[in-house]
Amino acid sequence: MDITYLNLETVTPMFLHGHDNKIVELRPPPFKALFRYWWRAVQGCDTGSLRKKEAKLFGSTDGKAPFSIRIPGATKNLGVPIKYNPLPHKGSSKIDAYDVGKSFNLRLITKNTSDACCYKQIAKLSFLLGGIGNRSRRGFGSIRNTNWDFEDVCQLQQEILDTLKDIAEDKRFEMKDGIIELESPPPLLPEYPVIRLICFGKLTPDVGNLLKTIGDATHMHKDDALGYAKGGNRLASPIHVRVQKVGREYFPIVTLLRWNHPGDLSNDYKKQLKFIAHIIK
């Protein structure tokens, strides 16, 4: 058995709940879901091959995953929840959240060292691009590894690119003018969300103001191209906004996904780019 210890820290308030939606709670299942989601977003294989690989890495109805997660002492380490507005661009009610700058330990338990290296890379990408809990697509629930010590944004960009290439078997990502994107997008849209491009914003010392900027963009650019919930139909936003730290400053990382759904049209892409531009300006 191999145990990888990850020392993590909240970068933005985290609205994470368990079975009771009124009580914040840090549990392993959301992290497993996060790892699965971002591993899948990097793959370029057909759906059949994807499901086989995914079952091998994350388990399925036919068998358990070959790894497990433990978060010892999370409730104690994260302290008493604070009240925070999940819609900082509005005067909405504040709800319980884990505060910024709170540390906790996550243990990845695998059968051997080679498996541990694989899951460690997946975890790294997940924390670089994704978040945990409610409003995680709009900057909340951002997490960083306390061992990360990026000197500047360029170094972090390169870390993301290297991690993408390590996880993607076909090495199909490249950096162009400060944007990470697919080298040659496939002619047919995939049946599941995959990374289309990753953009980076500017550094700021005020994380609260950055979250408000993200909220303002969400409020001003209301469109089905950015996700919707109408009646019984729902389309999750194809844009994930993540907040990361370099030194004592913060900046947004915005990832746009693409897949085969009715709204994935060229006109939607233009609207999505306008939304992203509002955040990274």
Query: Which of 61-75, 88-102, 243-257 reaches the highest mean pLDDT?
Result: 243-257
Query: Which of 59-73, 88-102, 121-135 reaches the highest mean pLDDT?
Result: 121-135
pLDDT at 183: 80
Total structural domains in the chain?
1
Q: Which structural domain range is residue 168 located in?
A: 2-280
45 token code pair: 């294989």
pLDDT at 262: 62
When pLDDT is cut at 50, 70 and 90, the band that residue 135 belongs to is very high
* Residue 57 pLDDT greater than 80, yes or no: yes
- HEC per residue, the chain: CEEEEEEEEECCCEECECCCCCCECCCHHHHHHHHHHHHHCCCCCCHHHHHHHHHHHHCECCECCCEEEECCCHHHHHCCCEEECCCCCCCCCCEEEECCCCEEEEEEEECCHHHHHHHHHHHHHHHHHCECCECCCECCCEEEECCCCCCCHHHHHHHHHHHHHHHCCCCCEEEECCEEEECCCCCCCCCCCEEEEEEECCCECCHHHHHHHHHHHHHHCCCHHHCEEECCEEECCCEEEEEEEECCEEEEEEEEEECCCCCCCHHHHHHHHHHHHHHHC
When pLDDT is cut at 50, 70 and 90, the band that residue 266 belongs to is low
Give the residue from 8, 9, 13 showing the smallest Cα distance to 214.
13
* Residue 235 pLDDT greater than 90, yes or no: no
Give the residue from 235, 195, 188 showing the smallest Cα distance to 46.
188
Average pLDDT over the chain reads: 90
CA distance 32 to 19: 16
Residues 6+ apart with CB under 8 A from 43: 50, 53, 168, 169, 194
What percent of the chain is modeled with pLDDT above 90?
65
When pLDDT is cut at 50, 70 and 90, the band that residue 216 belongs to is very high
The answer, as to whether pTM is greater than 0.85, is: yes
143 token code pair: 């997490």
Write the Ramachandran bin of 208: left for phi over 0, alpha for psi from -120 to 50, otherwise beta: alpha
* Residue 250 pLDDT greater than 90, yes or no: yes
Distance between the two ends of the chain, CA-based, in angstroms?
47
* Residue 148 pLDDT greater than 90, yes or no: yes
When pLDDT is cut at 50, 70 and 90, the band that residue 184 belongs to is confident
Query: Of the ranges 9-13, 96-100, 194-198, 268-272, which one carries the lowest mean pLDDT score?
Result: 268-272
